[in-house]
Amino acid sequence: MKNQAISKKAKLFLFALYIGIYVSVDMLIKASQKGENSEYDYDPVCAILMTEVVKLVASLLIYFRMDPKVGVKEKFNSITKITPTRLMYGLPALIYAFYNILAYYNLQNFDPPLKTLVLNLRLGFTAFLAWLILKQKISRMKFFSLVILFVGIIMGQQAMQHATQKSEENVDLGTEEMDDVDGVNSTAQKSLMIALFFLILQAFLSSFASIVNEFVFKKNYEESIHLQNSLFYVWGIVINIVCGLILHGTIPNVFKFLKNLNVLTVSIVLTNAIGGLSAASLLKYLSSLTKSYCAVVGMFISTFLSGIFFNTPIPLFFLVGAVLISVAIVIYTKSSQKNKEQNNQSKSRNELKTLKRI
């Protein structure tokens, strides 16, 4: 199916909007943190839950306004109908719930540039899962791009870690207490490794969720995309309530969250909601290739803004790593696009051969 045509101005706006949201979400969450431990004065689960509610309301409004020939009662019955395939929406919703919670946790331990850089591991995870689950071969160019990707991520992560440690050591120079330095360093190293594990886990969940989400949505291909989104967000709300019960032992206190709303929390909820809706539009009217390029541009903008607003140290080798990742993503996506074109051409040739035989 070809992407529906929209004007160049609309495409440019959509491209800029997605990049803006891609960068803004992490910046807003980071800005909402308080104190030395980067704690939140609100419940992140409530923020995620309210985001799902906003997306659900928007999707339902669009769904009920579409196709006026179909009655409201019929549309309502369509939403409330339960089928085995509709229960499948719960799986991607569960994965995304963990992904969203980890996004808040990881921003407590890392600045947006490093988080954005390491999350590019999802490209490698996507290739691995496509090979493992879909039995898709990894071409030489793709393999080469993944090698560049891993080198860039390791280089950027090590450079940022070294710069952060150096900055902390400079702060500690004014103190004379040097007792049990090895023990403190060992504990800090273990904490860093645990934090990196959760950041890598978020990258894996991003890849896994996209594959599962695509499978589930195609399984219910005959249904409206807005109906599918609505069902997906309903599951998201239910699962986030369960997550609140598991993490806090009680249902998320939405009333307290709404009572203490401020500009930052409202901006986080709305930006996240618009981000979820704009991602679907980006794939519909442009392509997954464009989405990858948005991530590349967003990575550099996030780095630049973090240096300005959060005084994040940006070492040279971090930028070199970011450039390598950008090159890897371009090579990988171009290779994927070329493979699709070759498969389509091969399919067309086979169809022509079949017609000639007939």
pLDDT classification of 22: cutoffs 50, 70, 90: confident
pLDDT of residue 167: 67
pLDDT at position 3 is: 46
Residue 122 clears pLDDT 80, i.e. is over it: yes
Quick one: pLDDT at residue 40? 94
Q: What is the pLDDT of residues 215-258, one digit of tens each?
A: 787 777 777 778 888 888 999 999 999 999 998 888 889 999 99
Per-residue pLDDT reduced to its tens digit, 48-58: 999 999 999 99
Nearest CA-CA partner of 203 in 334, 110, 136: 110
Residue 166 confidence (pLDDT) above 90: no
How does the average pLDDT of the chain come out, rounded? 83
| Predicted pLDDT at 197 | 94
Question: What pLDDT was estimated at residue 349?
Answer: 62
Confidence check: pLDDT of 1 > 50: no
The pLDDT confidence band at residue 272, using thresholds 50, 70 and 90, is: very high
pLDDT of res. 341: 67
What pLDDT, on a 0 to 100 scale, did the predictor assign at position 152?
A: 94
| pLDDT tens figures, 279-335 | 767 766 766 667 777 888 888 999 999 999 998 889 999 999 999 999 998 888 888
Percent of the chain beyond pLDDT 70?
85
**pLDDT bucket at 2, cuts 50 / 70 / 90:** very low
Predicted structure pTM score: 0.84
